[in-house]
Amino acid sequence: MKRTANLRRLHGFAPGRVPGVVLGLALGLACSAATRAADGHFPWKAGDAAPVIGGVHLGEERSEVEKSLGPPPEKKDLDGGFKGLLYSERGLGLVYSTRDAEVTGIYLLSRDAVDLDGVRLGDSRDEVLARWGEPTAVQGAQAIYLAGNWAVIAELGDAQTVVSLSVSRMGGATEELQELYR
């Protein structure tokens, strides 16, 4: 739960910012498959490496990120031993652990800067479902697509469009998480 709050604060999101979306997302994702494209399939599975986004990959050391992207224009202190690095001009927000200085989350900040397997900020719920199919889990306004020890998280806003899109490490026992959400 702390990780979700940290990630929202990185973008300026506050908990409860998207009232009413929870029910809408749950109902929308529960629609019959006939209302969605039949070929939607999440392209990653457990054991696959997380995608490289904007030249950054999960687990990359902060020093390596700064060598390739330069010093971040903005830094933020987050709860629980995490810090945020904002590269707004590149459309990236990064979260790293102060314990091991490794990137634990990558956020897309701009529709025009980068995409994730063809999905961008501002895409509709239906476009995401057509591209990736049903999520592994839905938590509030977030559709969570698990791929082993990492996940893609797409958060919808009131207009049923993607307002936050990220790739993040998942701490703990991901097999148990996957079982919970089946």
CA distances, 169 to each of 109, 113, 122, 149, 152 (Å): 18, 22, 23, 6, 9
pLDDT in tens, 48-92: 999 999 999 999 999 999 999 999 999 999 999 999 999 999 999
Beta bridge partners of 83: 77, 96
pTM of the model: 0.75
pLDDT in tens, 139-164: 999 999 999 999 999 999 999 999 99
Task: Say which CATH topology domain 2-13+21-180 has.
Answer: protein yfey like fold (2.60.460)
Distance CA 131, CA 174 (A): 23
Distance CA 166, CA 30 (A): 23
- Phi (first) and psi of residue 153, to 5 degrees: -125, 120
pLDDT of residue 7: 41
Side-chain half-sphere exposure of 42, counting CA atoms within 13 A: 21
**Which sequence spans correspond to the domains of the chain?**
2-13+21-180
Instruction: Tell me which range, 37-41, 85-89, 112-116, is most confidently predicted by mean pLDDT.
Output: 85-89
Residue keyed to tokens 């990630």: 7
pLDDT of residue 40: 85
Distance CA 71, CA 159 (A): 35
